[in-house]
Amino acid sequence: MAINVTQQRMAWGLKELSESLGLSVGFLRKEVKAGSLPAKRLGRRVVVLQQDLNSYLASQPVQIVADAK
């Protein structure tokens, strides 16, 4: 079975999302539990749909961090 690498991703597992964003799985679980990050349960696995991730990231405030020298 060939895999189409140009196909867009539809959903992320919390561990994959954690590694991709550089955030802890615990933080993501808290965001899901608080209702800030919508997620679906597929069997025992919790997944975040790509469209929900895009909305979540867009809703986060922008913080400008100055270089510490």
The widest CA-to-CA distance across the chain, in whole angstroms, is: 52
Q: How far is it, in rounded angstroms, from Cα 48 to Cα 51?
A: 8
Q: Return the pLDDT at 50.
A: 95
- pLDDT (tens, 9 = 90+) of the chain, 69 residues, equals 555 556 688 999 999 999 999 999 999 999 999 999 999 999 999 999 999 999 999 999 988 887 766
Encode burial over 30-67: b for 16+ CB neighbours within 10 A, e otherwise.
ebbeeeebebeeeeeebbbeeebbeebeeeeeeeeeee
User: What CATH class is the domain 11-59?
Assistant: mainly alpha
Give pTM, 2 decimals. 0.78
Q: Where are the domains of the chain?
A: 11-59
Q: Are 25 and 18 in contact (CB under 8 A)?
A: yes
